[in-house]
């Protein structure tokens, strides 16, 4: 859009959903990130970085059709190839591992990787932001259900570390829906329709569709029942009694994951729920699927799951599982729960007209930094201005330089009753 579409030079709008993070918010974000990254690192996850732009053909191999549609694409100058901003980091990690680290997985090494990245996708729902700030992990080379338990327990530990209470870890297994749809053998469009109705837990529409499509009674009853198969982890046990044998492998794996969580981290297990009617990401995930919900935020704070066939698209067949935290949603969920971090340090101030003192002011700041104190130089009109400025910035200490014969440097500290001079010295 041309800048001239925005009348008045004074207003410089952002596209819908884009936003800046000002220092207070950004400091909070850094704090969150630090805590999460520290947790993941402690579990042995190594940092990696992927490019913001990739060939669409390559990225698209690892994306569901509905996700491909959401890619922001353009033409690479010179080659004429279509490139895309990354809408998801997981396919990039899959490409990276398949191309560069596959042999290590073959030798039996499990890769534990973590990343922090912004992903860009065309929004679908209105509360979707086009830009999502993610922190994610991928566990490559371990197909066992207990590997998924590791991810659940670690995720719970990371969220607990930032003080997020009341999060609900909702899991399912992609193999359940897959087995049922394979049995039904519907046309792709009919399958999409039925799946969407089940995802909405719309029993009326599910029933109507099953009748229209002529699905045989036993299987129809099964589809209807999965709309209701949500609740505490024990749902898996009940599901095994209701659902056909084709789903039992998936249910067994899911049960094993839940069992492993129960024995490793009862606190995490207490926050687990199961929803077998949750079919989202069906064509991408192959096993356990996770969404974490937190009070007060409309979208999931964490999404993830197992995708054992993804790396195959990049030339190396190996199992993998992972999750990504949506930092914006997490920020909103933690709103009341993370303490505001006040910037601290010493502001070294120098009067505007005392140009000769600017260099000594920098020396003062450097001396403070050398002993580990946060310090910077600020030009002011006078001491009063310096102190008012410090108050608005919530800075508790000012070091003010005054010209004269001799020039002085005085420290002031904010006490309960106002500013107090703590010491003064000649320069």
By CB under 8 A, name the binding residues for another protein: 125-127, 166, 168, 170, 200-205, 227-228, 230-232, 234-235, 237-238, 273, 275, 293-300
| Nearest-approach distance from CB 254 to another protein, in angstroms | 15
| Nearest-approach distance from CB 424 to another protein, in angstroms | 56
Output 300 or 319, the one with its CB closest to another protein: 300
| Nearest-approach distance from CB 243 to another protein, in angstroms | 13
Give me the long-range contacts of 129-134 (CB less than 8 A, separation at least 24).
129/17, 129/18, 129/19, 129/328, 130/15, 130/16, 130/17, 130/18, 131/17, 131/18, 132/326, 132/328, 133/29, 133/326, 133/327, 133/328, 134/89, 134/324, 134/325, 134/326, 134/327
| Nearest-approach distance from CB 273 to another protein, in angstroms | 6
**Cβ neighbours, 10 Å, residue 424:** 12
β 320-326/131-140 pair status: antiparallel
Output 300 or 304, the one with its CB closest to another protein: 300
Judge whether 167 and 271 are in contact, CB under 8 Å.
yes
What is the distance between the alpha carbons of residues 72 and 54, in angstroms, rounded to a whole number? Answer: 11
| Nearest-approach distance from CB 170 to another protein, in angstroms | 5
Output 142 or 275, the one with its CB closest to another protein: 275
| Nearest-approach distance from CB 193 to another protein, in angstroms | 12
| Nearest-approach distance from CB 203 to another protein, in angstroms | 7
- The residues with which 166 forms a beta bridge, in sequence order, are none
What is the distance between the alpha carbons of residues 140 and 322, in angstroms, rounded to a whole number? Answer: 8
Output 238 or 252, the one with its CB closest to another protein: 238
Containing 42, the helix (H) or strand (E) segment is helix 23-42
| Nearest-approach distance from CB 308 to another protein, in angstroms | 26
Sign of the dihedral defined by the CA atoms of residues 326, 328, 329, 332, in that order: positive
Output 121 or 316, the one with its CB closest to another protein: 121
Main-chain dihedrals φ then ψ at residue 329, nearest 5 degrees: -65, -40
| DSSP conformation class of 60 | H
Helix/strand/coil for 291:
strand
Taking alpha carbons only, the member of 110, 135, 130, 129 closest to residue 49 is 135
Output 47 or 298, the one with its CB closest to another protein: 298
Output 161 or 203, the one with its CB closest to another protein: 203
Output 298 or 343, the one with its CB closest to another protein: 298
- The residues with which 378 forms a beta bridge, in sequence order, are 349
């Amino acid at each position: 859009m041309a800048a001239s579409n925005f009348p008045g030079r004074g207003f410089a709008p952002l596209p819908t959903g884009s936003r800046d993070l000002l220092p207070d918010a950004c400091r909070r974000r850094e704090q969150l990130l630090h805590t999460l990254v520290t947790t993941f690192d402690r579990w042995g996850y190594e940092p990696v970085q992927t490019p913001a732009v990739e060939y669409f053909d390559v990225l698209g191999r690892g994306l569901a059709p509905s996700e491909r549609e959401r890619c922001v694409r353009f033409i690479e100058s010179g080659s004429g190839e279509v490139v895309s901003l990354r809408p998801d980091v997981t396919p990039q990690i899959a490409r990276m591992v398949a191309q560069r680290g596959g042999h290590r997985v073959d030798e039996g090494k499990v890769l534990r990787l973590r990343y922090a990245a912004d992903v860009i996708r065309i929004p679908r729902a209105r509360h979707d932001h086009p830009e999502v700030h993610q922190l994610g992990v991928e566990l490559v080379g371990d197909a066992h259900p207990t590997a998924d338990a590791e991810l659940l327990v670690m995720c719970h530990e990371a969220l607990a570390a930032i003080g997020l209470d009341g999060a609900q870890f909702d899991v399912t297994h992609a193999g359940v829906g897959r087995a049922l749809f394979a049995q039904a053998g519907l046309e792709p469009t009919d399958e999409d329709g039925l799946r969407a109705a089940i995802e909405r837990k719309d029993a009326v529409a599910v029933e109507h569709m099953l009748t229209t499509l002529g699905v045989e009674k036993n299987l129809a009853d099964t589809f209807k029942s999965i709309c209701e198969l949500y609740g505490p982890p024990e749902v898996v046990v009940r599901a095994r009694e209701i659902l056909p044998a084709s789903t039992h492998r998936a249910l067994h794996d899911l049960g094993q994951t839940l069992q492993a969580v129960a024995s490793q981290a009862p606190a995490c297990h207490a926050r687990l729920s199961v929803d077998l009617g949750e079919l989202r990401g069906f064509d991408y995930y192959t096993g356990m699927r996770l969404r974490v919900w937190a009070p007060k935020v409309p979208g999931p704070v964490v999404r993830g799951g197992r995708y054992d066939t993804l790396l195959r698209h990049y030339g190396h067949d190996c199992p993998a599982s992972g999750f990504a935290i949506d930092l914006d949603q997490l920020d909103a969920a933690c709103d009341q729960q993370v303490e505001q971090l006040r910037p601290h340090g010493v502001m070294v101030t120098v009067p505007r007209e005392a140009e000769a003192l600017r260099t000594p002011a920098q020396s003062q700041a450097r001396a403070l930094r050398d002993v580990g104190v946060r310090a910077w130089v600020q030009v002011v009109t006078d001491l009063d201005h310096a102190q008012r400025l410090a108050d608005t910035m919530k800075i508790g200490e000012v070091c003010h330089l005054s010209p004269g014969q001799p020039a002085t440097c005085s420290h002031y500290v904010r006490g309960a009753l106002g500013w107090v001079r703590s010491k003064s010295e000649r320069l």
